[in-house]
């Protein structure tokens, strides 16, 4: 039986190979293990195998999981919120997470900043962009990303780290690469803008189990892998439903 530790090692090897083909240092790409719908035992197994960054979509499930892991003696982990969040639920993100990947409007960013406890470091955030105009996808339009970045970058309890995208599924490396390259181009434009508050703007969160190779070739610095590490999820989900 293949364990989570075995699958994690396989994904790490795949990331390293994709970096080698792209002429990149494997250390330049962070592997984010997407643990949504999987219990604390699965997270702990991955953590004991060396994984430290985990992505969650469902806030209450995630907060309960964090508490359970602390009781289980888990090492200190880094938690990323990677699902769209309704503005009336931002407090859970502000109080419990280290990263928020799906900022797509200023109202949400302002609430996250206002609700971030003073004793915690600034919340690391990414702006989600909708690179292909998918009707069922969250995210700001690429042409609006620079203006949103300018507003988010100056909020006191946030640190704007980069962009995140989840394009519609595409078949084949070339089609996947073309979509991810759109996000890379927006990222490069913002980074070259000289806006204040962008000293830490270094993150492109894009690529999942099925398209991480193309994402890395296009410049991704963080890939979000769930199925490849934990297996298929037992329950269906509407992945872009706000939480």
The 10s digit of each residue's pLDDT in 119-161 is: 999 999 999 999 987 666 789 999 999 999 999 999 999 999 9
CA 144 to chain centre: 20
Handedness of CA 215, 220, 221, 223 (dihedral sign): negative
pTM of structure: 0.94
Q: Report the percentage of the chain scoring pLDDT > 90.
A: 87
Please report the pLDDT score of residue 235 as a whole number: 55
d(CA 235, CA 123): 30
d(CA 174, CA 91): 40
Return the biggest CA–CA distance within the chain: 52
**What token pair was written down for 62?**
């995630």
| Model confidence at 239: pLDDT above 80 | no
Mean pLDDT of 206-212: 96
| Model confidence at 193: pLDDT above 80 | yes
Q: What is the CATH number of domain 4-230?
A: 3.20.20.10
Contacts of 29 (CB under 8 A, 6+ apart): 15, 18, 19, 216, 220, 221, 222, 223
Mean pLDDT of 169-192: 96
Beta bridge partners of 100: 81, 125
Please report the pLDDT score of residue 233 as a whole number: 77
Q: Kindly indicate the confidence band of residue 242, based on its pLDDT and cuts at 50, 70 and 90.
A: very low
Please report the pLDDT score of residue 135 as a whole number: 66
């Amino acid at each position: 039986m293949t364990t989570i530790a075995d699958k994690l090692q396989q994904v790490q090897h795949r990331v390293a190979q994709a970096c080698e083909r792209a002429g990149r240092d494997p250390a330049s790409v962070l592997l984010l293990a997407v643990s949504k719908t999987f219990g604390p035992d699965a997270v702990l197994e991955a953590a004991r195998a060396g994984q430290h960054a985990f992505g969650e979509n469902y806030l209450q499930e995630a907060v309960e999981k964090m508490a359970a892991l602390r009781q289980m003696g888990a090492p200190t982990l880094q938690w990323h919120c990677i699902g769209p969040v309704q503005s009336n639920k931002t407090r859970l993100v502000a109080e419990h997470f280290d990263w928020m990947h799906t900022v797509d409007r200023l109202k949400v960013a302002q609430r996250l900043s206002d609700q971030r406890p003073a004793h915690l470091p600034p919340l690391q955030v990414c702006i989600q962009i909708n690179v292909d105009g998918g009707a069922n996808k969250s995210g700001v339009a690429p042409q609006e990303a620079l203006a949103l970045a300018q507003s988010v970058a100056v909020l006191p309890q946030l640190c704007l780290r980069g962009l995140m995208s989840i394009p519609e599924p595409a078949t084949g490396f070339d089609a996947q690469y073309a979509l991810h390259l759109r996000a890379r181009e927006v990222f490069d434009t913002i980074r070259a803008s000289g806006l204040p508050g962008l000293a830490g703007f270094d993150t492109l969160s894009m690529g999942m189990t099925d398209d991480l190779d193309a994402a890395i070739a296009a410049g991704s610095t963080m890939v979000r892998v769930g199925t490849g590490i934990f297996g298929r999820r037992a329950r269906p989900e509407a992945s872009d439903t706000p939480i």
